[in-house]
Amino acid sequence: MATTTTKTEPLIGKRIKRREDPRLITGTATYVDDIQMPGMHHAAIVRSPHAAAKILGINVKPALDLPGVVAVFTGEDTKDVGPVPCGASLPGLRVPHHYILARDRVYFVGHPVAVVVATDRYIARDAADLVEVDYEPLPAVADPEKALAPGAPAVHPEWPDNVAFTYHQEGGDPDKAFAEADVVVKQRIVSQRLIPSAMETRGVVADWRPGDKALTVYDSTQIPHLLRTLLAGALGIPENRVRVVAPEVGGGFGSKLNVYAEDILMGFVAMRIGKPVKWIESRRENFMCTIHGRGHVDYYEIAAKRDGTVLGMKLKLIQDLGAYHQLLTPAIPTLSVLMMPGLYRFKNIKADIVGVFTNCVPTDAYRGAGRPEATHGVERMMDILAAELNMDPAEIRLRNFPEPEEFPFATATGLTYDSGDYAAPLKKALEIIDYPRLRAEQRLARDAGRLMGIGISTYGEICAFGPSPATPAGGWESATVKIEPSGKVTVMTGASPHGQGEETTFAQIAADELGVSIDDVLVLHGDTSVVQYGIGTFGSRATAVGGTAVYFALQELKEKIKRFGAMLLESDDVSVTNGQCICNRTGNAKTLAEIAGASYRAMKLPPNTQPGLVSTYFWEPPNFAFPFGAHIVVTEVDRETGDITIKRYVAVDDCGRIINPLLVAGQVHGGVVQGIGQALCEQAVYDENGQLITGEFTDYAAPRASRVPWIETDHTVTPSPVNPLGVKGVGEAGTIGASPAVVNSVVDALKPLGVRHIDMPMTPEKIWRIINKGTNA
Amino acid sequence: MKQTINLTINGKSYSHEVEPRLLLIHYLREVVGLTGAHIGCETSICGACTVEVDGKAVKSCTMFAVQADGSKIVTVEGLAANGSYHPVQQAFWDEHGAQCGFCTPGMIMTVKQILERNPSPTEQEIREGLEGNICRCTGYQHIVNAVKAAAAKMGA
């Protein structure tokens, strides 16, 4: 029966339970590794154990001789496939040719050298160990500063200085600002390499249909459409014969915003063996071969007046790129430069980036992607300046924010901050935590010999990526909204969520605009055969850009509904409300189902109107959106062990208008804990030979439930003028705000010992050494 | 070479010939077709593969299928009964305990055991009970809320 339930209560702003959860809580969702196909083969990859080596020879025969093995491919077989694409361009960028399998040389531990294909997962794994590779190990370099030193091993022999690019940006008159300053503070700040560690590793199932010359790839990706375009190019298949499906995706955090050698390789294998093939990344491979994040060594200087007014900032940024450029690798540190003024009135800036090759897996976008590094830097520097001037860290921040009436606010780095009241979340957080009382408590604690710290960060971020001229692949997002003949509503979004909950939030938007029950709305995504072209989910963009595309598609659709409604109701004054089209004069109404039925049956059409009720909208954002907020962290450091306990964590975020507070809280919690992870325990460690020491969860310290605090969340709401929903984005906010707040808190705790700065991660061992030697880390 | 195993999974009897080295998680996922439990780390650290073996939460990525011969296994697929979710499943839904959902089946099986052992845990006891399960999305707070909500419901 054609029915659509009407409703009157708006859903935007409500705590709506997620539509996607029933399949997740019952274990019936389909992730890549859950896909089985008749005749499906399994692939295992032979990887380099060396960070740098020449390949003198490969003997695949022992592997091929194992019963069940159907093929082994090496770099010689795949030399005409690919390369692995880099989508970022910078003037003078050196781009090494990135073969999908190594040819005569390997450049990092885990570098793919050969692929073994077998009828069974276990046999493929056995056979991978039987491939004999003759290596001549070479000197390697894993540290970006060492890689820049004269005489360092060359990662790529054609570029002996290991410099992939340099980048300079200047705004205002930084030299004048520094010359006129009362005070200049300097600090070297490290944002260590991190491993994104989505709980689902990467995985690919590739299925080649020789009769159709068509390839279907199921891939754990954040960007199915971009992957399709780039896969088609790398494999030499017409794009319209490639279908990419992102099934249930078990987290990404930027690590699946990429095109990897294995994505292309599985397409190649499927085409060569004529059977479906599955490759599931092991956790060890995930840590070795999926991109890492961060990897900065930053040298900051800020200039200020005696009263704490900031004048200028200089930054020398050394970015550890790893051995290759993945999709966005060289672009990530340029985001740090854009964000370097933070929320403050730095009118004069100068930044120099050096992108450095190392014999490590490439770095690329990881939750925040350049912005956490920048925020960590500016927020540490504001505290260092406050300490230098003997000012309160809250006071120095309040002194340097632009006023609400100064928006849109032009930064020295060329951005235009959309809207903001930057003091508001800080004031709210100070009130929640009762700052004066807390400082009094701290004085008593210090008198009693306890190491208690209070840390503040006031962060901003560039979100809602973004205006197309400022993005590598187009920054718009698309949506199709379709009213089915029965009146049910289907939304197809080019955003490709993987845990964020857009099946719920986009349904809220559609239900409100049409006035139907959320149960009548279904949101589809992630399949390039189902969804019109799209960009994907990353950079806190899905709701701000993808949700806005849904909104505009709905506006167009409502106009069409009104044309049919006007015809059926014989009225020229109609509106769409409560799942009906109503004549505003008579009150007569036609349900959405009646209108949809008439539009598809098409016995009669309104003038200049096509049958059907479908609208597609590609929305191009005129600007980024800029969320902001304030985090305050109270810590206590154990003098005996160096262990840090987070006693309180208050996060006041302003992400514009909130569609679903339950989901926003989830994003903030998760983001904050990833930031706490960076501050306290996470670090990708390579030894001097380029061996990854933190190669498993046994050695890489991802935060556990017992080690993270209760997070008290609150909000201020400053709608963004950039989009009609007024939303700004919240996916990365927690991560960006957290690490400086935690470090500032611990530095504050150790202030009585003369500590001025600590680099992350602040492990108990590091803190114990600082306490016992009284030196800075 | 192959060995016969007989076991009960979610109340149904199964008999299969398996290789001695077949991991229980691969047996459940690929032989029996129960793909709810996931492989997250292969080293017993992350808990995504947690299932119940003879009443105890076990990480099935580091147990052989032959070791489960004769046992009773419950997986996340076996929790819902008579058309309604297990209170722990319901609480994960109500409290937004899942984001990407990959850790969720293992989390739910662990939480079931936490509450069987301690029907009214404190927040710290909940967090310690979750120590063997990694979630990268939620920051654990909504999972803690879900455990509290399930405890309240199951105790009621």
pLDDT reading at A744 higher than 90: yes
pLDDT attached to residue A774: 60
> CB distance from B60 to chain A under 8 Å?
no
> CB distance from A282 to chain B under 8 Å?
yes
Mean pLDDT of chain B: 97
Please classify residue A91 by burial: count the beta carbons closer than 10 Å to its beta carbon, then call 0-12 exposed, 13-18 middle and 19+ buried.
exposed
CB-nearest partner of B85 from A25, A31, A498: A25
Quick one: tokens of A666?
Answer: 């989830």
Q: Distance from B38 to chain A by nearest Cα, in Å?
A: 8
Quick one: tokens of A354?
Answer: 């050096």
Is there a contact between A248 and B126 if contact means CB atoms under 8 Å apart?
no
Is there a contact between A199 and B48 if contact means CB atoms under 8 Å apart?
yes
pLDDT attached to residue A773: 84
Is there a contact between B35 and A121 if contact means CB atoms under 8 Å apart?
no
Q: How confident is the model at residue A48 (pLDDT cuts 50, 70, 90)?
A: very high
pLDDT reading at A278 higher than 60: yes
pLDDT reading at B18 higher than 90: yes
- CA A743/CA A189 separation, integer angstroms: 11
> CB distance from B126 to chain A under 8 Å?
yes
Is there a contact between A199 and B103 if contact means CB atoms under 8 Å apart?
yes
DSSP assignment of B22-59 equals: -BHHHIIIIII---SS--S-SSSSS-TTEEEETTEEEE
DSSP assignment of A74-117 equals: ETTTTTTS---------TT-------SS-SSEE-STT-EEEEEE
Tabulate helix, strand, coil % of chain B (nearest 5). Answer: 40, 20, 40
**Is A328 in contact with A257 (CB distance < 8 Å)?**
yes
pLDDT, mean of residues A546-559: 98
Which residue of B29, B108, B140 to mutate against A (max A Cβ within 10 Å)? Answer: B140
Quick one: tokens of A473?
Answer: 């692949």
pLDDT attached to residue A2: 43
CB-nearest partner of B98 from A24, A702, A704: A24
> CB distance from B43 to chain A under 8 Å?
yes
- CA B142/CA B124 separation, integer angstroms: 14
Which residues in chain A touch residue B99, judged by CB atoms under 8 angstroms apart? 251, 499-501, 666, 670
Mean pLDDT of chain A: 96
| Interface contacts A/B by beta carbons within 8 Å | 175
Q: What is the pTM (predicted TM-score) of this model? A: 0.97
pLDDT reading at B156 higher than 90: no
pLDDT reading at A775 higher than 80: no
> CB distance from A20 to chain B under 8 Å?
yes
pLDDT attached to residue A473: 85
**Side chain identity at A763, as an amino acid letter?**
T
Which residues in chain A touch residue B90, judged by CB atoms under 8 angstroms apart? 25
pLDDT reading at A85 higher than 80: yes
For A414, the 3-state DSSP assignment is coil
Which residues in chain A touch residue B1, judged by CB atoms under 8 angstroms apart? none
Which residue of B19, B49, B99 to mutate against A (max A Cβ within 10 Å)? Answer: B99
Identify the H or E element spanning A508.
helix A502-514
> CB distance from B122 to chain A under 8 Å?
no
Predicted ipTM of the assembly: 0.98
Which residues in chain A touch residue B137, judged by CB atoms under 8 angstroms apart? 199, 251, 499, 666, 670
Per residue in A303-338, pLDDT (tens digit) is 999 999 999 999 999 999 999 999 999 999 999 999
pLDDT, mean of residues A746-753: 97
**Is A660 in contact with A22 (CB distance < 8 Å)?**
no
Per residue in A111-158, pLDDT (tens digit) is 999 999 999 999 999 999 999 999 999 999 999 999 999 999 999 999
pLDDT attached to residue A7: 65
The alpha carbon of A756 is separated from its chain's Cα centroid by a whole number of angstroms, namely 31
pLDDT attached to residue A777: 46
pLDDT, mean of residues A598-624: 97
Query: B58, B83, B86, B61: which is closest to B72 by C-alpha?
Result: B58
> CB distance from A27 to chain B under 8 Å?
yes
B64 Cβ neighbours under 8 A, 6+ residues apart: B20, B21, B22, B23, B24
Residues of A (229-248) whose Cβ lies below 8 Å from B: 248
